A and B are shown apart, each in its own frame.
Chain A
Amino acid sequence: MKRVRRIRLVFLLLALALAALYAFPFIMVIINSVKERRDVANDPLSLPTTLKWSNFTEAIRKMEFWQSLGNSFIVTVLGVSAIIVASSLLAYYLSRTPSKFSKTTFLVLVASMVVPFQALMIPFSGLFGQKGLDMPQNKYTIAFFYVGFGVALSTFLYHGFISNIPRSLDEAAAIDGASAFGTFRRVIFPLLGPVTATVAIINALWIWNDFLLPQIVLLENDQKTLPLRTYVFFGKYTSDYGLAMAGLLLSIIPIVIFYFVMQKRIIAGISAGAVK
């Protein structure tokens, strides 16, 4: 018994050491975000002696934090909501309308998931840019693009779930006089809660953190999302690492808050999304 306890202690210490290692980068960002520029340069490892809170106010101003945060928020909320609507409708159609067309469509959707964005980004600018459809380069356009890229995986997740809902439910609603859309909206969609949560979380984390698409589409500063703005800001102020760290910390905080609020659902969403 003593041996078992000793082994457990070893594993516990190992786990704690690893956790410290994983957290180390964040601790460094936090302690250096309130330091004077020369204190960071001289000794980044030590705790700050004086707290320079103005790093934060300055970073908020220079990276236009609130505007970028708002942009990220709008893009994410719009993108995720539209993906939920579009993919639940499509999945319902595909699972309830057995035909060659539905089967083929489903296969195309699944196959499209291995297409890297890099294979699309070059035609993208020609197709949607000034010499093409000339779509405005703003956050609404980019939310629209996210629907196109996100609909395949989400439809796939919804499809698996909807296929397990008995058809007798649809038929009962039809007998009661509900239209096809009414059946979906009042009977089927309310049952999809768990998948909707998974779809929302997977897509929200993806859109919030995405970089390459915004980098290509959002060229105006006032439309830029938080990661994009942070990148530009960091590049400009690498001479003042205290300020740069404050900027990084600001862009990390919102998603970490989101995580602590939604922790259970996020973990459940990832587990469910991965077992597909």
Chain B
Amino acid sequence: MAVSNRRQAISRFLVFAFVPLSIFTLVLIVPFVRGIYFTFRDWDGFGSTKWVGFDNYVAVFHDDKFWHSLWLTLGYVLATVVITNLVAFGLALLVTMPMRGMHALRTVFFVPNLIGGVILGLVWQFLFSKVIPQLPFFSSNWLLETNKAFWALVIVTVWQMSGYMMIVYVTALMSVNPEVLEASTIDGATGFRQMLYIKIPLIAPAFTISLFLTMRNAFMAYDLNLALTNGNPYNSTELMSLHVYREAFTRLDFATGQAQAVVMFIVVAAAALVQVVISKRFEVQA
């Protein structure tokens, strides 16, 4: 009996789990572990000859350009996460108002999200360089000025992501029990106070999710960065992801590039953990 049970367990594993787990391991786990391993060696992308300890990481921390891209990315994450969520929540409130036509507007706000970052980046590259300078009050190409190019990147990111987060907030707002709202209205809570004390606490999980998603997207931003500014002017808008890509594939410094990628992973993982733990504290049981 025990033998046939064991056999059954093995055949179950082979039928259901073996192939998916092998692919997952080969494509994700193996490169990840190898990648970490090679940051401690003098790796040229294909092979390595000796152990170098933390040399690659030391090189990363002495690289001013890396620090610049790291701080820039943190600023970008902060700006896009805050603005995207404010805009998305505002849009969600607007489109859930009981008025005709609001459904059609949801589509308009959502469409940028369907299209890939590269295409959107190219669209906006055209807008910033050819169209917007023709509008009153602008008159210059934002992509050519250090500070403005950063904000151009932020604006396009918000435009792209807010529709998606709007859907997340709309779903949450629609799921608030109308009886709870009614009861609070009877108790004298209306408009803004109802929003602040009843709705927002009840949909706190939506904020957790949305903050997590926007943060992850912002940390990993690459497509838009490449297509809109390509790091210009003077590398002033080169986010972490683009920096890592160039370190490895343009400057062909694989070991340092990979060490930077590992630092990036640690930053992302730590930020995600902190954010989820903090957000969970604000969620209430309803």
Contacts and interface: CB of A to CB of B under 8 A. Distances in A.
A22 B108 contact: yes
A116 B163 CA distance: 23
Contacts of A145: 27
Contact of A211 (B15, B117, B206): B117
A75 to B, nearest CB: 13
B197 to A, nearest CB: 21
A234 interface: yes
Contacts of A234: 122
User: Chain A interface residue count: which class?
Assistant: 35 or more
B9 to A, nearest CB: 8
B99 interface: yes
Interface stretch (A47-55, A57-65, A89-97): A89-97
Contact of A256 (B38, B111, B257, B265): B111
B94 interface: yes
Interface in B115-144: 115-120, 122-124, 126-127, 130-131, 134-135
B23 interface: yes
Interface stretch (B77-85, B145-153, B177-185, B215-223): B215-223
B223 A26 contact: no
A261 interface: no
Interface residues of B, number: 89
B122 A148 contact: no
Contact of B134 (A25, A44, A181, A209): A44
Nearest to A268: B171
Interface string A199-236: 00000010011111000100000000001001100100
B258 interface: yes
B72 interface: no
Contact of B102 (A15, A90, A117, A210): A15
B115 A255 contact: yes
A127 B20 contact: no
A19 B264 contact: no
B122 A231 contact: yes
B21 interface: yes
Interface in A90-121: 90, 92-94, 97, 105, 108-109, 112, 114-121
Contacts of B118: 211, 227, 230-231
Given A90-B16, A119-B32, A270-B164, 10 more contacts: A109-B24, A114-B268, A116-B265, A118-B245, A132-B46, A209-B114, A270-B167, A271-B171, A274-B171, A275-B209
Contact of A116 (B171, B220, B223): B220
